[in-house]
Amino acid sequence: MPGISSLRRFLVDSVEQEPVQEVCELCATPVPPQHPHLVQVAERRMLCACGPCGFLFDNPGAGGGGYRRVPDRYLSDPEFRLTDAQWDELQIPVSMAFFLHNSAQGKVIACYPSPAGATESELGLESWATGLGAGRLAAALEPDVEALLVRRDKAGSGAAGSAEGLLVPIDACYRLVGLVKLHWRGFDGGAEAWHEIDGFFEALREQARPVPPATGPEA
Ligand SMILES: [Zn+2]
Ligand SMILES: [Zn+2]
């Protein structure tokens, strides 16, 4: 019975997690694993795009539908500082979080990865402006499509209170959230999860360039 054997093959394939062919969510063209992403700003939804559709939205303000292309720059700031008091005020239960401007709501949103996915809380604009938002990475952030990713040193490693900040495309944060969701075990995540997280941050650092000095009154 060919019907049953092909059904069985289909089930086996699904269990083995054969990679699904991703398609452009605007024109349905199949896309390679590395492809542009767009953000639908009002709905805060991320879409996969093919090269030509991504190109359409390259310029801010171009195209319709409220889409913005996710850039592919990674910036680091060797002078990034975050005090214990600033971090405590954020009340984030894990040692990493990312922050983005939501232009539709005119708010800064703090998110952190958790086993259940991304958890978010709104940030008071004053505490943002005087804390994390005062740094050079925050000043360079593009709304909706880039995030300030912050990681605190785990207890026992390095100087207490030290933190790292990176400006990353928002799709990198989605990857981090997916990683945590997949590998996190128990209360503290477990060795495997932290191995994955360390590797993820290592790869970001390798791609990151130092943030250029602030220029002009608009920066
Ligand atoms: Zn397309
Ligand atoms: Zn995609």
Distance 195 CA to ligand 2 centre (A): 24
* Cβ neighbours, 10 Å, residue 197: 22
Work out the burial of residue 107: count CB atoms within 10 Å of its CB; fewer than 13 is exposed, 13-18 middle, 19 or more buried: middle
* CA–CA dist 17, 12 (Å, integer): 9
Work out the burial of residue 11: count CB atoms within 10 Å of its CB; fewer than 13 is exposed, 13-18 middle, 19 or more buried: exposed
* CA–CA dist 177, 186 (Å, integer): 16
Q: Which residues contact 74 (CB under 8 A, 6 or more apart)?
A: 166, 167, 168, 169, 172, 204, 207, 208, 209
Question: pLDDT for 41-75, tens place per residue?
Answer: 888 899 999 999 999 888 766 556 789 999 999 99
Please give all residues whose CB falls under 5 A of ion ligand 1, grouped by chain where several chains appear. 24, 26-27, 29, 50, 53
Distance 50 CA to ligand 2 centre (A): 9
Ranges of H-type helices in 125-169: 125-130, 136-140
Distance 176 CA to ligand 1 centre (A): 25
What's the average model confidence in pLDDT over 99-121?
90
Cα-Cα end-to-end distance for the chain? 68
DSSP 95-116: SEEEEEEETTTTEEEEEEEETT
Among all ligands shown, which has an atom nearest to the Cα of 30?
1
Question: pLDDT for 11-46, tens place per residue?
Answer: 444 444 456 789 999 999 999 999 999 999 888 899
Distance 168 CA to ligand 2 centre (A): 16
Distance 78 CA to ligand 1 centre (A): 38
Distance 166 CA to ligand 1 centre (A): 29
Q: Percentage of residues in the chain with pLDDT exceeding 70?
A: 82
pLDDT for the residue 214: 65
The band of 153, judged by pLDDT with boundaries at 50, 70 and 90, is confident
Distance 139 CA to ligand 2 centre (A): 27
Among all ligands shown, which has an atom nearest to the Cα of 169?
2
Distance 28 CA to ligand 1 centre (A): 6
pLDDT for the residue 201: 96
Mean pLDDT, the chain, as a whole number? 84
* CA–CA dist 4, 169 (Å, integer): 45
Q: For tokens 């060797």, name the residue.
A: 78
pLDDT at 140 over 60: yes
